[in-house]
Amino acid sequence: MIVDFLFSSPEGDIPLDPEDLSRPFLITPEKAHPHLTLGDYFDTVKACLLKDRGDFLKRALKGASRGDFRLEDVRKIQIRSEKHGILYHLASVEVFMVETRVKFTLSTAISQEGMECMVSEHHILDRLNRNSEFSYLPEIYGLRKMTHLTAQGKTEEMVMLAARWFEDYHEWHMAVDPVDGRRKIKIWDLRRGPRYASFTEAFRIIEECSRILALYYGHGDFRGIGAWHHAAGDFIVKCHKNGGLDVRLTTVRKYEPVMSSFQEKDINPLIALIYFFLGTTIRMRLDRLDGVGETVWLDDFAVSAAVKGFFEGLHQRETKGDGVIPVQVANLLSLLQSFDRLEFDQVFEPLLAHYAAQDSNDMDLISARSADHISFLRQALQDFR
């Protein structure tokens, strides 16, 4: 069996030689691990896959392909470093058999915070995938804790999570188009080359992101998908030749009410839903330039798109007729449309205070833009039918 270690790049795969593998492993894009080398990381990923006669690998293959494979069926494995995140390192694992190829992701956490977050994410994804009919989140194939002994005799623990790979889906971020100097959504399509989204595509991307959040909202316990951020590349997009597109969410770090007070008894479901909606319209506008630069605020179109997507998601849940939604969508829309400016300012005040108390890195930008945001949101709600 051949096992290749690779780096992913816009120009294609980069094979790693012994000199590359001797370099320090990066905990974040800017910070090197004090003990681990890149080779230590790849060796541990390989060991995770092949340990116990390839039990972990076979589970991932079965989950990704719905088929059973023996370790002897595997001809080659390509472990490809895809991305450094704040808490995880993302790799893709591509497995070649005689007549088929299977690909899945393998996320690795090394820090204590990262490992705890990964275990929590595993539980959340498992719960949402089991209890939902939707398929916008990655299926999970396995979670394993590994221990690696470095050349210096240091023991390092890692937690690895295998999950579905969304084929031909790509990150996107706000970027400055050099042609006209305007900020636009740039789709990081590594297969066909990065490009700027059209206005219609940009609108649809935000609309779909908002719809997904509404679909997974817990109307019984007021829990919603949280801690997502466009800057982290959490929502990814696949564009089709006919002009259509699909959006998926790669992770769920938190699934809880917008504010802790909503965990108490006798909370009005309408109030909890309103705050989840309002929070969605704000967070949908935040990104970082090129994914890593200054925090930027998406243009007003994002508000109209978020309103459309959110209410489409609620309507989709309501039309199932299973009685899960205690709030009629038409009543929610009617109530929001009835708010005058003073009432909107008053209802936004606790949400903004909540963000401030959370010491959000985006709070300065939110505060500076909140008044204009409320004005445009009121108009977008009036225009929505």
Q: What is the CATH number of the domain that holds 80?
A: 3.30.200.20
Same domain? 13 vs 140: yes
Kindly state whether residues 149 and 249 are assigned to the same domain. Answer: no
Are 374 and 251 in a shared domain?
yes
pLDDT in tens, 255-285: 999 887 766 667 889 999 999 999 999 999 9
Domain final position from 164, 191, 209: 164
Clarify whether residues 137 and 241 are in a common domain.
no
Same domain, 270 and 141: no
124 & 153 share domain: yes
Same domain for 284 and 378?
A: yes
Q: How do residues 223-238 score in pLDDT, each as one tens digit? A: 999 999 999 999 999 9
Q: Which of 305, 314, 349, 346 is nearest to 332 (CA)?
A: 314
What per-residue confidence (pLDDT) applies to 85?
Answer: 79
Q: What's the average model confidence in pLDDT over 183-201?
A: 94
Q: What 3 state SS string does 134-197 have?
A: CCCCCCEEEEEEEEEECCCCCEEEEEEEEEECCCCCECEEEEECCCCCCEEEEECCCCCCCEEC
What value does the mean pLDDT take over residues 229-254? 94
Residue 70 is classified by DSSP as -
Domain that holds residue 26: 2-164
| Cα gap 368→357, rounded to integer Å | 16
Average pLDDT over residues 5-28: 91
Do residue 88 and residue 205 come from a single domain?
no
Is 197 in the same domain as 148? no
Model pLDDT for residues 124-141, shown as the tens digit of each residue: 999 999 999 999 999 999
The neighbouring-strand residues paired with 77 are 3, 95
User: What's the Cα-to-Cα distance from 244 to each of 217, 239, 302, rounded to whole Å?
Assistant: 25, 6, 18
pTM above 0.75, yes or no: yes
Whether residue 138 is found in the same domain as residue 248: no
Our count of domains for the chain comes to: 2
197 and 158 in a common domain: no
CA distance 135 to 301: 27
Question: Does the structure show a pLDDT above 90 at 385?
Answer: no
Shared-domain flag, residues 193 and 158: no
Residue 322 confidence (pLDDT) above 70: no
